[in-house]
Amino acid sequence: MKKLFYIDYPQEHIEGQTHKYRCTYCKEETTIINGRLEGHLPTCEYRIKLESAGYEPDQAKSVKDPVSHDADDID
Ligand SMILES: [Zn+2]
């Protein structure tokens, strides 16, 4: 079970940095997380919660390949 983007985590403003936000739990910047579950620290409450719910960090796929899985979804 995967989501395309993991952006529903709680965010907080980074003090002193005008347009920067970070995850409330693991304090990683949103630009580093970049919508990926594995962008959060392994200890992040949000990541742990989603992983325990069956979502997986996308470690194996480092390169996006939009054409390779076209036929896979037809069952
Ligand atoms: Zn986090």
Instruction: Please report whether residue 68 resides in a domain.
Output: no
How far away, in angstroms, is 73 Cα from ligand 1 center?
30
Residue 36 belongs to what domain range?
1-58
Q: What pLDDT digit, counting tens, does each position of 15-48 carry?
A: 999 999 999 999 999 999 999 999 999 999 999 9
Instruction: Please report whether residue 73 resides in a domain.
Output: no
How many domains in the chain? 1
Percent of the chain residues past pLDDT 90, beyond the cut: 61
Which pLDDT score is estimated for 4?
A: 79
How far away, in angstroms, is 64 Cα from ligand 1 center?
23
How far away, in angstroms, is 63 Cα from ligand 1 center?
22
Distance CA 3, CA 66 (A): 15
How far away, in angstroms, is 23 Cα from ligand 1 center?
5
Instruction: Please report whether residue 6 resides in a domain.
Output: yes
